[in-house]
Every structure is written in structure tokens, then in C-alpha cells.
């Protein structure tokens, strides 16, 4: 054999030697893109204030993420976009009238305590943005529940007569809102009407920054489902079980169909079902587990809305189901090839 005219410098790694072209960063930045319609909507409805709050939230999430990774001696991975998503989601979950420092404090809590303290992306057991929202709720309940703003050309409640309550608060506290000698039933009839449901769908009502427009959230969510980046099972199970429960459980129903749509498009259900319950890290990993997760979120949401202490229950429902995720994962393993009748083994 003659000496070759070349020197081979060969890499040796374990197979497989080819990979698909998806990366964590591609996934995350695509989710960011899917959240942009709702971002544009928040600026349209609430003005430049929305831009300021979302911008502050994102900038501080990225900054605190990078700083804590440096501090903990970890690889700095902020370019993967996950902190951007956390910052956006947190801002989307804030009332538009909160002071500028709230998204900053919230982002710090989300990325430093909830995410990096537990090991960084992939290791947090609850959704960082939602945990931060819960933290802000208990720390500054007044700021988090009373800083609603009317939308451009609209009102907070979607009704001309009611100026300070969000749509779901109207549903829950019609009596108090109508005041002594008022007409709560009339309020509920007015609320459960097609014009109001239309406003809820397009987003021309008060609420958290990014949650008001069901339409814009659906555009982004369907985009992610189409790309198979999020599993359709979770939003379908979540929204489906909310619909079903709202249908069968007693509630202040006046117009049956409008009442159901009010539940679906009012509040944070679309934002939660499409963008927060579908977070990979904190939701179950198998299809079966994701059905259970979505249904659990739906049940909790309706229970909180109908009988809980808050008008809205999406955030706490998802957080509670996040905590249940390891248990769901344990009991929803895929079926092993060649174990058709296997009794579930305890591990």
C-alpha cells in the first residue's frame, strides 16, 4: 500500500452521526415570534406603556439570567431566547397600570429564584413567569388587582356602565359591582351578549397586557401547533374541559352560548392554554400525560372562577398542575414494546 498523499484527521463520536436541524434556540425564538401578534395587540390596546413594560420585563429577564449564570459559573445561554419568553410572558400577565419596577422585580424572581436556583432551563419545576406573577400577587395585591386600564376606545369590563372591573370580575361579583339597589342580573345579561363576546375575542377589553385578545393569541398558538412545536393536546384538553365544566356546572348563566364563550375568551385562558400550560419544562412529557395535565388545568380553572377567591384561576391552575407533573409523568409512561400485558412496575 502506498503512502497516501493526505493526512486524515477523523472525528470519532458515538452514533447517530446525523441530527435533525432543530435546536433549543430555534424552538425558543419561534415561540417568541408566535407571541409577537399579542405583543402588537397590547401596544395597540394599551399604548406605549405596554411597550415599556414588556421591554423592561424582557430586558431584565435576560440581564438577570445572564448575571446569575455568570455568578453560578454556568455556561451563559441567554442567546437561546428562553429568558426572552419568560420576560414576555411575565409582562403579558401584568395589569397594564402597574409601576415600572414591577416587571423588573418579577423578572428577577422568575429567572434567578425559580429558574437558576433550580439548575437553569430544563430544571425548574414550575413555570418561572407564572411563579413570578404569583409572587407579585401576594407581595403587592393592591397593585396587581386594581391597576386595570381601559383599552383604546373601550372600557375595562367591555360594558359602558362598568368602569373598574374586568370581564371575569363582572361575572363573579355582579352583585357588588351593581352596588346597593343595582341590577346585577341586568349586568350579567348585558355581559353575556354578542357585542361583549366579540370584544373579548378581539381584545378590546381590560385585563392583563397580553391576555386580552383571544384572536391574536390563537394566531400565534395555531402557528406553533402547525409547526408541531407545541402539543395540541394541552390546549384542546384545557379549553375543552373548561367548556364542558362551564356547561354542566351551575353558574350565572343568562345566554348559554355567550356564557361559554365568555369563559373561553375572557381572562387569561387563551394565553395560559396556548403559551404557558404548553411549556415543555413544566408539563408532562407523554401524550397521555398531557391530556391529564390539560384536563386538570381546566377543572382547577373553572373551580377557581366559580367558587374560588379570585375571579380568574388560570395562573394558579397551571402552577398546581406544574407541581403535579412529575407524578403524572411517573404514571403515564409510554407502553413498552413487547410488554402488552405488563402490570405497571413500581420504580
Partner 1 sequence: MLTFRGGVHLHEAKGSTRHKPVATPPLPAKVFIPMSQHIGVPSNPVVEKGTEVRTGTVIGEPGGRVSVPTHSSVSGKVTDIAELPHPLAGGKVTTVVIESDGSDTPDDSIQERPTADLKPGDIVDAVRQAGIVGMGGAAFPTFFKLSPPEDKPIETLIINGCECEPYLTADHRVMLEQPDGVIEGTGYIARALGVKSVVLGIEDNKPDAVEEMSRAAAKAGFTVLRLRTKYPQGAEKQLIQACLNREVPSGGLPMDVRCVVQNVGTAVAVRDAVRFGRPLYGRVVTVTGPAVNEPKNLLVRIGTPVRNLVEACGGYSGTPAKLIMGGPMMGIAVSTDEVPVLKGTSGVLVLDEKTAAQLEDRDCIRCGNCIKVCPMGLAPQRLYYHSRKRLLDRAEDEHVLDCIECGCCAYVCPAKIRLVHHFRFAKSEIAAMKKP
**Grid cell listed for 93:** 400577565
Measured distance CA(93)–CA(151) in Å, rounded: 16
Q: How far is the CB of 25 from partner 1 (least distance, A)?
A: 9
Q: Which is nearer to partner 1, 11 or 343 (CB)?
A: 11
Q: For residue 205, what are the β-bridge partners? A: 155
Q: Which is nearer to partner 1, 153 or 338 (CB)?
A: 338
**Grid cell listed for 97:** 397600570
Q: How many CB atoms lie within 10 A of CB 209?
A: 30
Contacting positions for partner 1 (CB under 8 A):
1, 4, 6, 8-20, 22-24, 26-27, 77, 80, 119-123, 231, 280-281, 283, 285-287, 329, 333-340, 345, 347
Contact 246, 289 (CB under 8 A): no
Half-sphere exposure of 120 (CA within 13 A, CB side): 17
Measured distance CA(307)–CA(159) in Å, rounded: 23
Q: Which is nearer to partner 1, 156 or 230 (CB)?
A: 230
Q: How far is the CB of 7 from partner 1 (least distance, A)?
A: 10
Q: How far is the CB of 234 from partner 1 (least distance, A)?
A: 11
Q: Which is nearer to partner 1, 17 or 73 (CB)?
A: 17
Q: How far is the CB of 194 from partner 1 (least distance, A)?
A: 39
Q: Which is nearer to partner 1, 145 or 332 (CB)?
A: 332
Q: How far is the CB of 334 from partner 1 (least distance, A)?
A: 5
Contact 130, 273 (CB under 8 A): no
Q: Which is nearer to partner 1, 96 or 284 (CB)?
A: 284
Q: Is the Cα torsion angle 272, 276, 282, 284 positive or negative in sign?
A: positive
Q: How far is the CB of 208 from partner 1 (least distance, A)?
A: 26
Q: How far is the CB of 241 from partner 1 (least distance, A)?
A: 21
Q: Which is nearer to partner 1, 72 or 194 (CB)?
A: 72
Alpha helix stretches (DSSP H) within 140-213: 141-146, 167-172, 174-178, 184-191, 194-202
Q: Is the Cα torsion angle 102, 105, 111, 115 positive or negative in sign?
A: negative
Phi/psi of residue 205, nearest 5 degrees: -140, 170
**Short-list 237, 230, 225, CA closest to 296:** 237
Amino acid at each position: 500500500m502506498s503512502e497516501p498523499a493526505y493526512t486524515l484527521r477523523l472525528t470519532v463520536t458515538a452514533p447517530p452521526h446525523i441530527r435533525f436541524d432543530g435546536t433549543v434556540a430555534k424552538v425558543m425564538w419561534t415561540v417568541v415570534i408566535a407571541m409577537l401578534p399579542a405583543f402588537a395587540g397590547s401596544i395597540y390596546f394599551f399604548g406605549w406603556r405596554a411597550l415599556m413594560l414588556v421591554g423592561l420585563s424582557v430586558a431584565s429577564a435576560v440581564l438577570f439570567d445572564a448575571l446569575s449564570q455568570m455568578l453560578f459559573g454556568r455556561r451563559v445561554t441567554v442567546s437561546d431566547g428562553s429568558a426572552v419568553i419568560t420576560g414576555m410572558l411575565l409582562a403579558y400577565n401584568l395589569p397594564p397600570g402597574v409601576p415600572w419596577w414591577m416587571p423588573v422585580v418579577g423578572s428577577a424572581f422568575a429567572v434567578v429564584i425559580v429558574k437558576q436556583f433550580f439548575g437553569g432551563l430544563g430544571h425548574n419545576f414550575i413555570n418561572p413567569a407564572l411563579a413570578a406573577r404569583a409572587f407579585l400577587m401576594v407581595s403587592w395585591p393592591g397593585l396587581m388587582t386594581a391597576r386595570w386600564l381601559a383599552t383604546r376606545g373601550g372600557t375595562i369590563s367591555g360594558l359602558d356602565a362598568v368602569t373598574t372591573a374586568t370581564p371575569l370580575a363582572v361575572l363573579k361579583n355582579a352583585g357588588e359591582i351593581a352596588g346597593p339597589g343595582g341590577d346585577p342580573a341586568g349586568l350579567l345579561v348585558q355581559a353575556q351578549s354578542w357585542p361583549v363576546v366579540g370584544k373579548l375575542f378581539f381584545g378590546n377589553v381590560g385585563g392583563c397586557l397580553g391576555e386580552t385578545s383571544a384572536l391574536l393569541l390563537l394566531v400565534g398558538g395555531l402557528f406553533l401547533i402547525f409547526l408541531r412545536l407545541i402539543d395540541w393536546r394541552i390546549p384542546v384538553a384545557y379549553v375543552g374541559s373548561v367548556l364542558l365544566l362551564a356547561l354542566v356546572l351551575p353558574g350565572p348563566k343568562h345566554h348559554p352560548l355567550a356564557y361559554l364563550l365568555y369563559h373561553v375568551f375572557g381572562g387569561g385562558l387563551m394565553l395560559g392554554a396556548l403559551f404557558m400550560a404548553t411549556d415543555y419544562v413544566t408539563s408532562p412529557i407523554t401524550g397521555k400525560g398531557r391530556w391529564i395535565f390539560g384536563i386538570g388545568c381546566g377543572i382547577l380553572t373553572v373551580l377557581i372562577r366559580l367558587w374560588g377567591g379570585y375571579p380568574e384561576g388560570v395562573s394558579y391552575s397551571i402552577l398546581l398542575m406544574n407541581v403535579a407533573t412529575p407524578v403524572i409523568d411517573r404514571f403515564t409512561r409510554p407502553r413498552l414494546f413487547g410488554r402488552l400485558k405488563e402490570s405497571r412496575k413500581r420504580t
